[in-house]
Structure 1
Amino acid sequence: MSGNEFRFFLSCDINLPVKFRVDRLEGTLPSIKSPNSVNDRSGISSTTEERRPELYVECALYIDGAPFGLPMRTRLESMGPMYCWNEPITLSTKYRDLTAHSQLALTVWDVSCGKDERLVGGTTILLFNSKMQLKTGKQKLRLWPGKEADGSLPTSTPGKVPKNERGELERLEKLINKYEREQIQRVDWLDRLTFKALEKIKEQENFRNGNSYLYLVVDFGRLEHRVVFQDSGANFLLPAPITSTNELVIVWDPEVGKINPSEHKQLKLARSLTRGIIDRDLKPSNAERKSIQRILKYPPTRTLSGDEKQLLWKFRFSLMSEKRALTKFLRSVEWSDVQEAKQALELMGRWEMIDVCDALELLSPVFESEEVRAYAVCILERADDDELQCYLLQLVQALRFERSDKSRLSQFLVQRSSHNIELASFLRWYVSVEFHDPVHAKRFYSTHEILEESMMKLTPGVDGEDGYKLWQSLVRQTELTAQLCSIMRDVGNVRGNTQKKIEKLRQLLSGLLSELTYFEEPIRSPLAPNILITGIVPSESSIFKSALHPLRLTFRTASGGTCKMIFKKGDDIRQDQLVVQMVSLMDRLLKLENLDLHLTPYNVLATGQDEGLLEFIPSRSLAQILSEHRSIISYLQKFHPDEHGPFGITATCLETFIKSCAGYSVITYILGIGDRHLDNLLLRDDGRLFHVDFGYILGRDPKPFPPPMKLCKEMVEAMGGAESQYYTRFKSYCCEAYNILRKSSNLILNLFHLMAGSNIPDIASDPEKGILKLQEKFRLDLDDEACVHFFQDLINESVSALFPQMVETIHRWAQYWR
């Protein structure tokens, strides 16, 4: 798209409901005094005590000055001083129904006074700006104290301050909004300085104004392109004229999507707690049993219908011995009914104990009950440290869905990590990377503080290290990455070819003032905390030829050996971190079924939004191998020759190659990994093939018509061709691995569901759609035998795909000319 091109949607074409997010309230509320009934001896005076306000926001849509549809309300929020709802609101009105003068009226109410609601203030904002474009991103609206939001035209409670009254703070808020919408170029070091200066200006402004203003922050999000207003040509506010034709007239119904009161009443009567005695002895019929078994096989992403919920509730007592049924039963509970919720929690305590993978589902955003989430943590306590490390990334993300900063989940993670240095190191990094999230930063920082306190209290262990030394060894990891960032900036400023940059790197590492050649004290490796690193070997460190010039560093270890790492700056590797974690988990699941496919789950750790470390695995890309050796077999003959072996190489090496090809073919298909070409398929000397660079997942791909999996003809030729017994063995390994991983589909789907709130690009864009795509890849509607035929067809389709071969040829020429 050229710089002058402007792409947009017309509002009259968008058949989606109006959505926005009520974020938070900024400013200080006036203290509320409540009279106390305790009198003194004279009976005249009474004491007063301060109450904590309980606030909610009422959201109403006004079109051309008239109320339109039913107002929506947020939940109650009492956690001050910054009241944060972060609650999505979906109106029944659609974008196509809006007019140019549509506005949103937001009123904040306080219900802490008992029956009488106290009006805190209101504010109003037009949905379209002066250029007739739909407003996007975060909007900071001034609240008018003691006034209910006025939706008339013109409004008496405008959220946007007039230009002549705007101060420096309002102008800066507007620029911050543009920055968050990525309309301002991001420069990491300059952004940090700028935001520090902004905080000082904000403090001065609040001090000058006595912090008297209240602001409500609302986030309108954004669509793929800007939305420009255009009238659909029909005025739906006026009654349609009566005509003699049989034309269908569409009338807007404000009750669409709302609960039917009569159906709700019938459901309440059917689930009445007075039936509890009768329900204890109820047994499902054959038809009902089949229905229940069908429901229990649903994936965790499936929403239960009203009839299915009713069926599970009716036979809840007979299902208590079925551990798979607990998560489905908890989904059928009407948690707004206090008595029903109480009975459900009692049954949960007596239910057959569920597996760890099902406990992960109870930590998803679907379950808000603190008791249910605490029960899930109790189940997680059964997992050993190795299993817990497989889920740690998702458990940290699950902290977003907790109701308090010091939740049971947070305490559990800290408690387990304080006795395992690997868990402690990874927990610290996973939490630190999320500090930039303005909504949940306090929660992640609280977990970081608890971990520090817990570690500092540890007594010296067998190796003599006390808690203080252990924690300092983790803190020095951050200092190391900061120094590497500084070096990358200096190296990046060097003009010339890659060799000059490498010379500058080695000069910086070995300089007199450099502290990196030999560390004052050993540092625990961020990628493998059990390994102590003592310095960097300058002569063995280098730079990769790419746009970002990542560093390839060789570290000395305390045991006398070396380890190699790649340090990247300027690229978000959190998505790579997730994919490699899933590869490691799937490798574990396959090995538990005695199937070792010789995968290479190298270590990846994001140390910031745009920086991180990767383990360096000695290998060469298939593109380079084919360019120099013409075939994969010729390359492997160089390292594992055998005159009597298949194709002149050892049988062990060929088997390793076939198994690793099969493993990554299945995993990349399930995860929907895109942008596969011969430059990001690497081969090790022992025959292990593995994938790198996971910028596209869950079905996204920059190339048109991508094959289901990356299986190029050179790989098939290395197995002896499509008619070879080794190629048949490859297909057999693929089908076996696919059916094994299908058995753990619930675990994998639960882990991705916990990532729904993360900032990983391919998940954050549309979490629900991405998880459904992942679910489709498991083909849960087929049995194992049908899946064998299904996957064999996928393999044949991938091998015979012509278009990807053409794209690969174009890619090779592009790389050559580059």
Structure 2
Amino acid sequence: MEPFSFASSDTLDYPVSIRIINLEGGEAPLKFSTLLEHAELRHIGSNQSSHSDLYITVQVWAGSKPLTVPVQTAYKSFRNERRWNEWLTLPVTYATLPQNSHLAITIWDLSPTGGRGTQGRAIPFGGTTLPLFDRDNQLHKGRQKCHVYRHRQADGNDDSKTPAILPRKRGKSRMLEDREAEELDRMEKLFKKHEMGEIPRVDWLDQLVFRGFERRGMQSAKSSLKTAQTDASQGSRDANSLPEPSSFLLNVELPRFDFPVVFADLEYPRPPVSSLQHLSSSQSNMILKPPPEVQLGPGINAIDDDEGYGGRLIRVYDPEVAARDNPAESKHRRLVRSQHRNGILDRDLKPNAKVRDELNMIMSYSPTHTLSPEEKDLVWKFRHHLTRNKKALTKFAKSVNWQDQSESRQAVQILGKWTDIDVDDALELLGPTFDNSAVRAFAVERLRKADDEELLLYLLQLVQALKYEHISPQPGHEVTQDSSLARFLISRAASSFTLGNYFWWYVMVECDDKSQDQGPDNQAIYGKVAYDFMTELVKEPDGEDTRKTLRRQAEWIAILSKISGEIKESNESIARRTERVKHFLADPKNELVTIDPPLPLPLDPSVEIIGVVPEDTVVFKSSLHPIKVSFKTTSGRKYPILFKTGDDLRQDQLVIQIIALMDELLQKENLDLKLSPYKILATSTNAGLSQFVHSMSLQGIASKFRNNPAHAYLKQNNPDSHGPLGLRKETLDTFVKSCAGYCVITYILGVGDRHLDNLLLAPDGHFFHADFGYILGRDPKPFAPAMKLSKEMVDCMGGAGSEHYRQFKQYCSLAYSALRKNSNLVLNLFSLMANANIPDIKLEPDKAALKVKERFHLELSEEDAIRHLERIMDDNLNALVPVVIDKLHELVQAFRA
């Protein structure tokens, strides 16, 4: 057999479309006597003119039922011919079409007096029903001539009374017509090859062929029309013949595809797995198991079955096969737990040495680890013994079947006897994994013991955790009654202005997020939280003043947003934009020259601004044109900020918050790495503030100083002939420590798109990173290094063989080791941000924490992990790709400039 290339209809994700070309044919005008007898016929458009206005509707039918709404042609005025030449697209794709799909095409005339089949002012001129698949189950394509049944609406039924294609009758004239149709079809295939370039173009010859084909087509249409009329006259004499066809033919065109499209039924996804018992979301075994692989024995699945059974093995889908758990194992666990549920001896049950080791191994698991059924049973069995272990609570909560009322009731009683847990475990209990209100309330009680400074470190994640509370978005419900976490946050934010400032702006950003990922319910929940916060704020002694301050902050942000948006949209030069901003800020009408009373800065409430310094304004040359604005503060110093519109700063805000948290964790280990977590605050989903730190990029430094640029820059600002490498000792020490801190932290967070333009160096030696548009291992550049350790950084330390570089590696090892001890806290923070609509997290929300966990390498011992980190640094230092990337970036930026 010759190979036959085709496509199946279930893979054709393309909307059904049809081109209405023209209506050809005619009929004798009605006699005047008929018009006199039937006055309603005088007002029908087609009875007044042979080229009256008509419109066409097309609708997909299947199984004698409509599948779509009708689609209508646009209005068109006809002069000599009723020609629409218009493509109509129907709201259904070929992939979802049944085999018995039809196109019900109705031509509508206008009649103010009505008549049979009237719809409003429209009356059927004629109808025709065109099947989409032929007898060979192939999709119809190309031009089609459809017989129009006068004064009838297309019915669209499977046994349609208005078929577009009539069966051919035998006879001499029919044989000639068939030959003519075959010739026309052959010519159309050649035209298709000509369009695809398979036949060379010859302009003068092509014109002759096209004109000849046109004449031949018109002659064929006339002959087919005469034949149809003859058939009609014969059919009128034969009572058993087909319904009388009209003398009108509707020319339509269906899309052409490169290969024949054969009908294939769309395979819908399997139905949801039924389960007798709905497990809680806190159960880690809720993930469906993959369907089992069926291993067929010899000869069972063979085409030639000689044993007489015939055919292939038919697999029947059984939802219970892919159930969440094996019913036998589930029954076994219920029996095991029934023995250790209310027994008197359970309280005094002690593990032996072997079991103690197993329990210690379970307690060491990271928050993202899934407990096996056997491990859950073991934790449940020794639950009373584990109440003295603060690390065991989260594992115990994962081991409880919270849908079992008896088990849930006893678990809640045991929670009250548990020893105090750490903050990282409390944050894990507030995540999406746990939905039991008693468990979440227990975690909130632990957070009450944290002071404001500690709470501020996790406030961003705690605001996100409100999404996992049982808060009803329906009006009339107060969140303070539904959620213990909401009550706690509102109470603490109302009693502390700093907490209240950040809490208010975090909630406002969530209210501003109108993306499809969040939905209206999310906005309603946070709107309720904001309302309850304002209600609680009034009850405080200075609550009214705090409300006014927050309102003034919003007005201040709105003023800056106005000028920033105008500058971004204007097509002026940078100098002209800067002058416009300065003039705007200096205008007393905008109330920025003097701010009285002093306004706490939303970015840093500890700073109170009293006015703007217009002459210090700078508009940066980039696509979004951020504005640098300096404000006078009550302390007498200037506080420069960057204001940007058109960019979502929530990802940068998250990274800076994690860096600030890691700085606190390192300092608790007596390791001060001179980090500079400058402040960032997103004020909406497309605007925000950022603290401006006086610094210079390594790219700018390299263009200014040729040899060892970072060292030359620091030496210019901090010279000391008696110090190491000609620098002040404190400056070089700050540089080495900050390089080590940022190298480790950006490696753990998977910060990408690192180049010399976003590596910054302050005059006092503080090194830091900026622009966190790519995190969690994403990078727009191929073969990007896992850690950014540039040659300029190492040269400033004295080279790879210097003592300062050895100290740098030692600081990296100490920082990595200290952060690995606190990995659970970092992983829980990222788990709480799973639904925060942050770009690099929402790509794979369930894997965000896992990507961070991979960088911690918790499966390795401390020595092996440090050795792995050193290998990464050595490979990056000796690699050529980072150098090439930096050079390419420099060339691209120079070209853009």
Shorter-chain TM-score above 0.5: yes
Residue 794 of structure 1 aligns to which amino acid in structure 2?
I
Q: 1:287 deviation in Å?
A: 2.4
* Equivalence for 2:322: 257
2:539 pairs with 434, 457, 461, which one? 457
* Equivalence for 2:510: 434
Contact preservation (8 Å) 1:421, 1:530: no
Residue 585 of structure 1 aligns to which amino acid in structure 2?
L
* Equivalence for 1:377: 444
**Secondary structure, in 3 states, of the residue corresponding to 2:611?**
strand
1:58-137 equivalences under 5 Å are: 130-132=92-94
Change in 2 beyond 3 A, CA 1:738/1:610 = same
Counterpart Cα distance in 1 of 2:681 and 2:644: 10
Once the two structures are overlaid, the 10-residue window that deviates more, 388-397 or 551-560, is 551-560
Q: 1:278 deviation in Å?
A: 3.3
Q: Please say which structure displays the higher CA radius of gyration.
A: 2
**Secondary structure, in 3 states, of the residue corresponding to 2:756?**
coil
* Equivalence for 1:409: 485
Q: 1:625 deviation in Å?
A: 0.3
* Equivalence for 1:96: none
Counterpart Cα distance in 1 of 2:502 and 2:263: 51
Counterpart Cα distance in 1 of 2:264 and 2:875: 47
* Equivalence for 2:874: 796
Change in 2 beyond 3 A, CA 1:133/1:621 = farther
Change in 2 beyond 3 A, CA 1:236/1:621 = closer
Change in 2 beyond 3 A, CA 1:234/1:287 = same
1:244 pairs with 292, 305, 310, which one? 305
Q: 1:467 deviation in Å?
A: 1.7
* Equivalence for 2:778: 700
1:258-657 equivalences under 5 Å are: 258=323, 259-272=325-338, 276-404=343-471, 405-406=479-480, 407-435=483-511, 436=513, 437=518, 438-459=520-541, 466-630=542-706, 631-657=709-735
How many residues are treated as equivalent by the alignment? 607
Q: Quick check: 1:685 aligned with 2:776?
A: no
**Secondary structure, in 3 states, of the residue corresponding to 1:756?**
coil
Q: Quick check: 1:809 aligned with 2:887?
A: yes
**Secondary structure, in 3 states, of the residue corresponding to 1:758?**
coil
* Equivalence for 2:752: 674
Change in 2 beyond 3 A, CA 1:369/1:493 = closer
Change in 2 beyond 3 A, CA 1:231/1:708 = farther
**Secondary structure, in 3 states, of the residue corresponding to 2:390?**
coil
Q: 1:488 deviation in Å?
A: 1.5
Residue 328 of structure 2 aligns to which amino acid in structure 1?
S
Counterpart Cα distance in 2 of 1:251 and 1:767: 34
Residue 555 of structure 1 aligns to which amino acid in structure 2?
F
Gaps of 5+ in 1: 1-8, 15-63, 66-100, 102-127, 136-150, 155-163, 166-227, 460-465
**Secondary structure, in 3 states, of the residue corresponding to 2:93?**
coil
> How far does the alpha carbon of each residue in 1:700-751 deviate from its partner, in whole angstroms, 9 at most, with x for none?
1101111111001111111111111111110000000000000000000011
**Secondary structure, in 3 states, of the residue corresponding to 1:556?**
strand
Q: 1:637 deviation in Å?
A: 0.7
Residue 397 of structure 1 aligns to which amino acid in structure 2?
Q
Gaps of 5+ in 2: 1-7, 14-61, 68-89, 102-118, 121-260, 271-299, 472-478
* Equivalence for 2:135: none
Change in 2 beyond 3 A, CA 1:134/1:547 = farther
Counterpart Cα distance in 1 of 2:94 and 2:865: 52
Q: 1:306 deviation in Å?
A: 0.8
Q: Quick check: 1:741 aligned with 2:819?
A: yes
* Equivalence for 2:740: 662
Contact preservation (8 Å) 2:390, 2:421: yes
**Secondary structure, in 3 states, of the residue corresponding to 1:335?**
coil
CA RMSD of aligned residues (A): 3.0
Counterpart Cα distance in 2 of 1:646 and 1:234: 73
Change in 2 beyond 3 A, CA 1:555/1:718 = same
Counterpart Cα distance in 2 of 1:330 and 1:235: 37
Counterpart Cα distance in 2 of 1:536 and 1:321: 57
Contact preservation (8 Å) 2:9, 2:95: no
Change in 2 beyond 3 A, CA 1:545/1:310 = same
Change in 2 beyond 3 A, CA 1:639/1:248 = farther
Query: Could you tell me the TM-score, scaled by structure 2's length?
Result: 0.64
Once the two structures are overlaid, the 10-residue window that deviates more, 351-360 or 392-401, is 351-360
Contact preservation (8 Å) 1:494, 1:500: no
Counterpart Cα distance in 1 of 2:729 and 2:262: 67
Q: 1:518 deviation in Å?
A: 1.5
Once the two structures are overlaid, the 10-residue window that deviates more, 776-785 or 606-615, is 776-785
**Secondary structure, in 3 states, of the residue corresponding to 1:565?**
strand
Change in 2 beyond 3 A, CA 1:335/1:512 = closer
Counterpart Cα distance in 1 of 2:829 and 2:9: 37
Counterpart Cα distance in 2 of 1:573 and 1:800: 34
Q: 1:799 deviation in Å?
A: 1.0
Q: 1:132 deviation in Å?
A: 4.2
Change in 2 beyond 3 A, CA 1:698/1:10 = farther
Contact preservation (8 Å) 1:12, 1:229: no
Counterpart Cα distance in 1 of 2:843 and 2:321: 27
Contact preservation (8 Å) 1:639, 1:685: yes
Counterpart Cα distance in 1 of 2:263 and 2:651: 39
Counterpart Cα distance in 2 of 1:289 and 1:345: 24
Counterpart Cα distance in 2 of 1:305 and 1:540: 62
Residue 407 of structure 2 aligns to which amino acid in structure 1?
E
Counterpart Cα distance in 2 of 1:275 and 1:230: 62
Counterpart Cα distance in 1 of 2:95 and 2:551: 47
Counterpart Cα distance in 2 of 1:483 and 1:152: 61
**Secondary structure, in 3 states, of the residue corresponding to 1:324?**
helix
Counterpart Cα distance in 1 of 2:871 and 2:378: 39
Q: 1:232 deviation in Å?
A: 9.5
Q: 1:490 deviation in Å?
A: 2.5
Q: 1:802 deviation in Å?
A: 1.1
Change in 2 beyond 3 A, CA 1:250/1:809 = farther
Counterpart Cα distance in 1 of 2:637 and 2:792: 37
Change in 2 beyond 3 A, CA 1:801/1:318 = same
1:224-239 equivalences under 5 Å are: none
Q: 1:494 deviation in Å?
A: 3.7
> How far does the alpha carbon of each residue in 1:464-517 deviate from its partner, in whole angstroms, 9 at most, with x for none?
xx2211221111111111111111133234433101100011111112523221
Counterpart Cα distance in 2 of 1:591 and 1:758: 29
Counterpart Cα distance in 2 of 1:554 and 1:234: 62
**Secondary structure, in 3 states, of the residue corresponding to 2:610?**
strand
* Equivalence for 2:32: none
Query: Could you tell me the TM-score, scaled by structure 1's length?
Result: 0.70
Change in 2 beyond 3 A, CA 1:620/1:331 = same
Q: 1:13 deviation in Å?
A: 13
Counterpart Cα distance in 2 of 1:450 and 1:613: 26
> How far does the alpha carbon of each residue in 1:797-816 deviate from its partner, in whole angstroms, 9 at most, with x for none?
11122112111111101111
